Chain A
Amino acid sequence: MNESENNFNDLKQLLKLKRHEIPPPGFFNQFSDEVVARIRAGEGSGTGSFADRLNEQVPWFVSFLRIFEAKPGVIGGFATSLCLLLLFGVVLAERSESGPQSILTTASSQADPTASTPALASVATPTFANSTASEGGIAISTNASLQPVTAFFGQPAGASALFQPASFAPAH
């Protein structure tokens, strides 16, 4: 580091010239008066622009936004990663939609041999659920929102343990 500092010695000497640049005589005598006069005139009581307030309250967010300024590569990379994330979300959502339905089909076909198609299963199961409920058995709902959380993450169709308990057997 010292070596690189030495390489810039002449430049640093040259930059010293900037310290000799001085404003017109008497400039600082009235500077503070002007500032205070402007504050008294009401300029200091304003809340400032939205950007200013944002900069004050969440400076890290403003710094984050500055990363994208005039950097097409970074903007492109960020946009691509957002698109990929969105695509991943869509694929995941599609899988979770098909997952519970296939599980239901398997489970209902085990309980009722006549329900061999998904369409039949979706009609037959609520009827069965109502009858078991009235007879003191455990009811099951076809409403996807009431299914266990694991069903949304693509539970394999063969894993019928979730619906295996004797809820489908009529309670006598």
Chain B
Amino acid sequence: MTMIMSEPATTPDPSTPAGMLEGDLVKRARRGDLHAYDELVKRYQERIYATIYHMTSNHEDANDLAQEAFIKAYSALKSFKGGSSFYTWLYRIAVNKTINFLKQRKNKYHLSLNDIDFNAEHDPDLMALISDKTPTRDVGLSELQKKLNEALLKLSEPHRMVVVLHDVQGQSHDEIAEIMGCNIGTVRSRLFYARQQLQGHLAEYIKP
């Protein structure tokens, strides 16, 4: 009985935007319900922002592009046919926007990296990779972060996108193929090539 009483407190109310299914939220947002769209933004903002941030290595650019991607998605909601999930469709908009932005920016980039959270210092795999020569762990991590971002920026946009979506974001090959509008074979070959390139750029941090 106690369990039954406590359930409503944890389960979101289906009549509120927070408790609605994605499809219902999309239908409402298409009719102009901004509360529903606000909920959709909240659900996907972290993943969309993170993808753009890892592509640009710049917090301000990622913020602007993520906002623009959500605004663009809202204005284009009427053209969303539902052939894929809203999440995939939204991702596709964000990816296209980011790639277009990076092509215009070309090599004129400057890093504006986010801080590394506390948990990174307690990741044994990560710690094992840091060179013994670095004086302290803090210096080691921030140096590693800078080198890693610089190495990623040396990749072409499609190769960087595949690495970010797969190795950083944890998306499957199928999902990436759908987001990027290419076949799975292309995703695999881009991933392999990008990893090879990265391994070359980060050789001093990776065991031979």
Contact = CB atoms under 8 A, between A and B. Distances in A.
Interface of A: 4, 8, 10-24, 27-28, 31-36, 38-40, 43-48, 51-52, 55-57, 59, 63, 69
A10 B53 contact: no
B123 interface: yes
Given A20-B116, A39-B71, A31 B148 contact: no
Interface residues of B, number: 53
A56 B181 contact: no
A31 B66 contact: yes
Nearest to A1: B188
Q: Per DSSP, are chain B's interface residues mostly helix, strand or loop, or mixed?
A: helix
25 contacts: A8-B195, A8-B199, A11-B202, A14-B126, A14-B202, A15-B148, A15-B163, A15-B168, A18-B168, A20-B117, A20-B120, A22-B117, A28-B42, A31-B45, A35-B41, A35-B67, A35-B70, A36-B38, A39-B34, A39-B37, A43-B75, A44-B74, A48-B76, A57-B79, A69-B103
B115 interface: yes
A45 B74 CA distance: 8
B198 interface: yes
Given A15-B167, A17-B148, 14 more contacts: A11-B195, A14-B129, A15-B168, A18-B54, A20-B116, A20-B117, A20-B120, A21-B117, A22-B115, A22-B117, A23-B53, A28-B45, A31-B67, A44-B71
Contacts of B74: 39, 44
A56 B202 contact: no
Interface in B45-68: 45-46, 49, 53-54, 59, 63, 66-67
A38 to B, nearest CB: 6
Q: Per DSSP, are chain A's interface residues mostly helix, strand or loop, or mixed?
A: helix
Given A16-B123, A40-B34, A31 B168 contact: no
A57 B67 CA distance: 22
Nearest to A20: B120
B120 A17 contact: yes
Nearest to A10: B206
A38 B67 contact: yes
- Top 6 A-B residue pairs of the complex, sorted by shortest distance between their CB atoms: A20-B120, A32-B41, A44-B74, A21-B114, A10-B206, A13-B125
A28 B72 contact: no
Contacts of A24: 59, 114-115
A10 B75 contact: no
A51 B93 CA distance: 13
A35 B39 CA distance: 11
Contacts of B117: 20-22
B184 interface: no
B144 interface: yes
Given A8-B199, A11-B202, A12-B167, A23 B114 contact: yes
A34 B67 contact: yes
